[in-house]
Amino acid sequence: MYTIDSIQDIQDMARGAVLLGTGGGGDPYVGELFVHEQIRKGHYPTVISSGELDEDAFVVSIAGIGAPTVILEHLVSEKTLLQLLARAEIFYGRRIDALISAEIGGANSMFPLALSAISGVPVLDADGVGRAVPQLEMTTFSIYGVRATPCILMDDSGNFVNVETSSDRMAEDICRVVTGAMGAMAFSAIYPMSGKQAQDCAVQDTLSQTLEIGRAIRRGREGAGDVFEPLLAYLNSWEGRIARIIFDGKITDVTHETRDGWHWGLATMCGIDDPAQQCTVEIRNEFIVARVNGRTATVVPDLITILDRESGEPMTGEMLAYGQRVKVLGYSADPMLRRPESLEVLGPRMFGLDEDFQPIESL
């Protein structure tokens, strides 16, 4: 168990969460500000590893659900988060021993920390996917048998909805429309699970990973050498995972479209040194496939991040604009995400791509 008492740490974590958000997941900035404020007041989030948890402990995910464009501007209400926790404890008739992030990429990295700071309930150093995903059933929790529901949704007006569905896909459908009626953003207590399930079904150590990624980017920026060197060294230090810069270029075109509740887009880059080289990144909320000169270089669930070429700052899909000089990073997904049962839920075809998954190592 450790306590986060440093604003610097939260800043680093938020930056790391943007990287793991692979262009989507919602900007963690508003949640980050809320946690800053709590740390200033001496209310510190605490983090524990899944191994420290009793097998019969009771864990729930705390997640914001909604449109990234609204999550970005929606201030976090202390009252709503505490009411959500109280409601969940009344509903289950027991104390919640730990919180867990449903997805570590983007805004949902911060909300469990925010609730931990004000409630004292620790956050697990783990999450449900190790990146960001567009739908709530796209988690290792769901893939390995934890049900998304009962899902308790709450908004800042005190509206409360409890959803119990026969499938996690249906939970996604219902939560999405309820969130729409609640003003495009709600907080949820979702994926109730035991300590044993958190140990077996979660992607581990991902909250620490956000911190270390943020630190590595900061070190790269403050150091004298290649700004990306500490980041690549850190990412490659994970057993069985590799990270590489798959393109170094300048954005020559970017399209954005919001359709069917998704953010669709395409970013096109040409090479810095050789403008004949081309890279495209398809956006469907997250960056789902990067192609270099027409050939797939990284594809979901492997991670694709676009970073500012000078500062190493990871960028969300909405931030991309003509003329930006960027590097495109490819990173192996956690091995849990590459298993056949995971690829059925998280593979390229689930995002509308007409190709099978190929690991970045083979591309």
Nearer to a copy of itself, 155 or 302 (CB): 155
Please list every residue from 180 through 199 that binds a copy of itself, using CB under 8 A: 180-182
From candidates 166, 222, 273, 294, binder to a copy of itself by CB under 8 A: 166
User: Shortest approach of a copy of itself to residue 92 CB, angstroms?
Assistant: 14
164 binds a copy of itself (CB under 8 A): yes
C-alpha 229, offset from chain centre: 23
* CB-based contact 28:70 (threshold 8 Å): no
165 binds a copy of itself (CB under 8 A): yes
User: Shortest approach of a copy of itself to residue 317 CB, angstroms?
Assistant: 26
* CB-based contact 125:50 (threshold 8 Å): yes
86 binds a copy of itself (CB under 8 A): no
From 18-26, 45-53, 165-173, 308-316, span contacting a copy of itself (CB under 8 A): 165-173
How many Cα atoms are found within 13 Å in the side-chain-facing hemisphere of 241?
22
Instruction: Give the whole-angstrom CA distance, residue 211 versus residue 307.
Output: 17
How many Cα atoms are found within 13 Å in the side-chain-facing hemisphere of 8?
6
User: Shortest approach of a copy of itself to residue 178 CB, angstroms?
Assistant: 6
174 binds a copy of itself (CB under 8 A): yes
Nearer to a copy of itself, 20 or 153 (CB): 153
How does DSSP assign 294-312, residue by residue? TEEEEETTSEEEEEETTT-
From 52-60, 175-183, 311-319, 344-352, span contacting a copy of itself (CB under 8 A): 175-183
* Element spanning 263, H or E: strand 262-271
Instruction: Give the whole-angstrom CA distance, residue 162 versus residue 193.
Output: 16
353 binds a copy of itself (CB under 8 A): no
β-strand pairing of 325-331 with 303-308: antiparallel
Which residue ranges make up the site for a copy of itself (CB under 8 A)?
157-166, 170, 173-174, 176-178, 180-182
